[in-house]
Chains A and B, each alone.
Chain A
Amino acid sequence: MKSTENESAIKDNLKMPPYRPLKVYTFDPTRGRTMGNYMIINTPYEKLKPGPVGNYLKVIDYDANNDCYYQPVDLDHPRVMLGNGLDPAESDPQFHQQMVYAVASETISRFESALGRPIKWRFGGALKKARRKKEGQAEPQGCDDDDDDYSRKLRILPHGMQEANAYYSDDLGSLVFGYFPASETDAGHNLPGQTIFTCLSHDIVAHETTHALVDSQKDYFMEPTSPDALAFHEAFADIVALFQHFLFKEPLQEMIRKTGGKIFREVIAPENQPDDTGPLFQAEATSENPLVGLAQQFGEAMGTRKALRSALGTPPGTNDLKKYSEPHKRGSILVAAIFDAFFSIYVRRTADLMRIAKASGASGSSTEVTQPDMHPDLVNRLAETATKTATHFLNICIRALDFCPPIDILFGDFLRAMITADHDLFANDKYGYRAALIDAFRSRGIAPEKVKSYSEESLLWSPPEATDSEALPSCSGLQFDVFNSQDIEYRKAQKQKNCSALLEFATKNAEKLGLSANPNLKIELGSFHEMHRMSDEGKLIFDMVAEFTQERKVHYDPADPNSPPFTFRGGTTVIINQDGSVRYSIKKSIHDEKDDDKNDRLKRQREYLTKRESEMSMAAYADEATIFARTLKADFGMIHRGYY
């Protein structure tokens, strides 16, 4: 598609525009026109059909509650393009379609730029298997055949249902956003009973798109194998949505001015200090810092009087992890850890700016400058630093996905992934990002398994161990696509070659890589792709990241072969250098059946599934199959219904 567009551009003597500017709400409609609430997102330019329908996204405006469709918007219409898209309006469904398209695109580009490769959706292996069965196709041998199927698009339903919720469904390959009436009695900034659209919340759209994006990289992360699994998905989605706040220039600057540089403050002092006497007017009221709050309109509409969740969460305390198992609550601990590190770095990096400001006569402390003295240049520089730091953190988090095991993610694993990913790029932790992350995790009791200490060296993933007799595993025959060829046939052939080389490599070196050598356990190659980075000397280095998994059926109750079965997986993420040597092997072994009674991971998973099942309210009434199916499936609502 891109090549034909290029051709037509050359014919017209017109360059392809790099961006399509589109108006959206920065936060949500409640902020009106204040504080940079209207912003323009520069989505990567692509030809769009009405919907809008692009390369990655397809907006279908179906309303399940009223069983009807709404008119799709044509963003390529000249009148629309001239004004940078439609103007923000709550009553215009076409603007809503524009907004979800824009925010989702924006989130996708962030991922692409962090990962350095295009995104390919992966909607549930189960869906693919079912489709294959229906069409009578045979199962592919080891490699994912429709790997090159870029034509699958993520669907977005901006008004899918009447519910105070929004979710990502990998069954439907869609994001579904709900709408609902605001609380009659306590609606915060909203009109009581007004219709609230979750699709108009920048945060909520970014959050749900992130679920789809993480799912595209880590297919098995949606399986509930431990309390951390679903919590991780929720936390990651919140992290991306929250970090994006720090990339919006205007509100960021406004907040810096209002907080004197302390952007991590949850409550902002009023513009005018109120006297002890006389009534308060608007400018004298305290307000909440939107930068650290998530989905504020939504939270207020529910009557909670504040944002749905916060970047700050609860103060660090090593008991939090033991207390919370509900995915959003548990996830908020991870979010708080990452933001703890972020704000610490921000303070450190702006310390010199503050000192300069102080030296030139501004008043205040080491972390803030009292308001009247904030020079616009200072505000600018602080904003730049915040944005730079946020971008770096976001990149660390997204890149770390490549360094995670293929299954059963734990918070501690993610810490190790982040440390390793960042170390790979910047061997010298100049600003102390990694140190800050380690500290923040430690203070919240997030402890990785099987590490000797919280030091950086201990936390790095390691390559397979060398023994005297056997050589270290090395994968030969890998082809790296240096020139990013556009020839589809060539790419397909290359993929097949790499696939076979990798599978052969894994089978030959199974045990060294943490896989089971049992011939009955087929090794699946879930995904593989190249990773590029610049070495310290400025050379371009290639790696191949491959995820190998194995699975077997086990029973809920080890003593009872008649109890329902579930799938237990094991796998390894292998990072291979250009020369074929293995730089890291990140393993979660499936182990052998005979060692099941010693298998801690299996025990943990069993306990967790049993707990989930017993907590389901309908557990007594529905038949085993239904309960069981529900236990194994995750529900990615914005807020859980809590009833599983």
Chain B
Amino acid sequence: MKTRNITKSKSKSKAKTQATTTTTISAGKANKDTKLSNPQEIRIRMYRVGFGDCFLVSIPSDESKENGSQFRHILIDCGVHSRGNIDTMEKVIHNIGQVTYRTLDVVIATHAHADHISQFARFGEEFRKFKVREVWLPWTWDDNNKDAVKLQRKRAAFINKLNQHFEALGANADQAALSAVVNLAGNERAIELLKSCFGSANAKVRYLKAGDIINPEDISIPGLSVRVLGPPESTDLLAQEDPPKGKGYLRATPSGEFEYMISAIKPFEDRWKVEDPTSTGLHLQQEEEEQLRRISSSSINDVAFALDDARNNESLVTLFVFRNKYLLFTGDAQYGNWRGWLEDEKSSSNILAKINFFKVAHHGSHNATPKAALEKMADGEFAAMVSGQSNIWPTIPHPPLMTRLNEKTKKRIVRSDWLHVEGAPKPLPNSVPEMPSELPEGFKKGDYWFDYTIPVSGDEIKIARKKIP
């Protein structure tokens, strides 16, 4: 009986959904779009926050909750880079509050970069008003894990010094490296709030690593199982990302402390200096002198990039499985770091070929999603969303990657910067893919978000059982 009811409402609400489509494109009223009337679809909402990530995944639930909502919500990241902030965050959080009735079953922070977690701190007071059931964090944040603590201590020292150095350089700093450092620094408050679950009573923190599996019965979202694909455990990660001992300006001593040379050494007394190099006839060309000076300073930039890279690869990579639908959220991790878990599959089936949704890694950067990964995904079987904008780094999102994704998803891809927001940068001319006149199938548009809905069949198991005599 129950099943029949559901199917009935399915057809009813299908029509309803179509009706609501037209109304939401124009400035939708709060009530209409907060009410998810169709309980048989997963909804993924990508908010346009600027250069950053903020995703709300809503999973339908058979059991209705105290507040009447028929959905369980997972918030994945809430951050924006200071150089790419378009000031929509306040509204975004307000909207999250409304849609979720201020209850979040899971809050996931993928990694400690400002463009993913900074707003947890900035709007900490708001988040305190939420009821948060679980917070999922990468194992590298776990204070009870010796390796993690060691890693974080090293990083913190590094980042601190780098920050000082780049601040001192001011306008002379390489802008890309500076952005990387800005992203790394100042995340302590957000981390603290997340670890404390924003003060929610009875809340639980999970520190996850590649290989972890969360079964439906373990969490408050029935029917949802989660496979964690990254970050990899212990030594691989640590070894890979430590700027190898003694390289360049910064190095780790065996005790784990950090030393940093910031001041120039004068190796010899002044009496050895040559007043006028042309008198000796022994000197380099000016361009050569400049080149040498540049090489000396580039080592610092290299360290900034390496740390940034390392942090990205600490991202929590989660594969959600709900009623045979697969949703992949990669944070900013490079494919190379979590592909091992896919290939370890005993069933040797290609997981990537099964996904129905892909949150494009690292705002669409080129090496986070290499060809090898794309080619494994099934043509036309999945949709993708890219959250970012091109004003900090024109190579993110990476046009050829976007083109390929557009092909593979058969145009079911949206970019957050398609949404018009007052004062926010528009996509660069000739950016890919071009904003279509009509949104692709399954997508809906809000004021400052895109929704992608995946219909799920209800109670497949029960139907199957019925067939067996």
Give residues in A with beta carbon < 8 Å to B.
Answer: 50-51, 53, 58-72, 91-94, 155, 157, 159-165, 171-172, 176, 179-181, 183-186, 195, 197, 302-305, 557, 562, 610, 613-614, 616-624, 639-643
Contacts and interface: CB of A to CB of B under 8 A. Distances in A.
Contact of A621 (B176, B261, B268, B269): B176
Nearest first, the 4 A-B pairs at minimum CB distance are: A302-B246, A620-B365, A64-B292, A617-B309
Interface string B265-283: 1111100111001001011
Given A67-B293, A621-B396, A179 B267 contact: yes
9 contacts: A65-B293, A66-B266, A69-B280, A72-B282, A171-B291, A302-B246, A303-B251, A618-B305, A641-B299
B370 interface: yes
Nearest to A167: B295
A61 B277 CA distance: 10
A197 B268 CA distance: 11
A618 B178 CA distance: 12
B248 A641 contact: yes
A186 B249 CA distance: 16
Interface stretch (B206-214, B252-260, B323-331, B449-457): B252-260
Majority secondary structure, B binding face: loop
Nearest to B336: A614
A617 B308 contact: yes
A613 B245 CA distance: 23
A356 B283 CA distance: 59
A160 B253 contact: no
B247 A640 contact: yes
B19 to A, nearest CB: 42
A582 to B, nearest CB: 43
Contact of A60 (B249, B282, B334, B394): B282
B272 A621 contact: no
Given A181-B265, A639-B244, A69 B282 contact: yes
A610 B336 CA distance: 12
B386 to A, nearest CB: 14
Contacts of B274: 68-72
Contacts of A613: 367
Contacts of A69: 273-274, 277, 280, 282-283
Nearest to A179: B267
Contact of A62 (B267, B283, B295, B362): B283
Interface of B: 176, 180, 243-249, 251, 253-255, 257, 259, 261, 264-269, 272-274, 277, 280, 282-284, 288-289, 291-293, 295-296, 299, 302-303, 305-306, 308-309, 334, 336, 362, 365-368, 370-371, 393-396, 400
Given A183-B251, A185-B255, A186-B253, A641 B395 contact: no
A180 B261 CA distance: 8
B296 A162 contact: yes
Contacts of A162: 261, 264-265, 296
Contact of A159 (B255, B267, B303): B267
A643 B303 contact: yes
A620 B370 CA distance: 11
B254 A303 contact: yes
Contact of A614 (B282, B284, B370): B370
A50 B281 CA distance: 10
Contact of B394 (A50, A185, A618, A623): A623
Given A183-B253, A184-B259, A617-B309, A67 B245 contact: no
B280 A72 contact: yes
Contacts of B334: 614
A643 B400 CA distance: 24
Given A172-B291, A185-B253, A618-B176, A179 B265 contact: yes
A71 B276 CA distance: 10
A641 B282 contact: no
A64 B251 contact: no
B366 A619 contact: yes
Given A186-B253, A618-B176, A642 B289 contact: no
Contacts of B244: 639-640, 642
Nearest to B291: A172
A255 to B, nearest CB: 26
A165 B292 CA distance: 13
B251 A164 contact: yes
Contacts of A304: 245-246, 254
Contacts of B176: 618, 621-622
B310 to A, nearest CB: 8
Residue among A64, A72, A197 with most chain B CB within 10 A: A64
A68 B257 CA distance: 33
B249 A185 contact: no
A176 B292 contact: yes
Given A71-B274, A195-B265, A620 B393 contact: yes
Contacts of A302: 245-246, 251
A163 B299 contact: yes
Contacts of B272: 70-71, 92-94
Contact of A64 (B248, B293, B299, B400): B293
Contacts of A643: 243, 302-303, 305-306
B284 A60 contact: yes
Given A53-B282, A60-B282, A62-B284, A93 B303 contact: no
Contacts of A161: 292, 295-296
A303 B246 contact: yes
Contacts of A185: 253, 255, 257, 259
A172 to B, nearest CB: 6
Nearest to B302: A643
B268 A91 contact: yes
A197 B282 contact: no
B39 to A, nearest CB: 39
B153 to A, nearest CB: 15
Contacts of B296: 64-65, 161-163
Given A303-B251, A303-B253, A68 B259 contact: no
Given A160-B292, A197-B267, A620 B362 contact: yes
B55 to A, nearest CB: 20
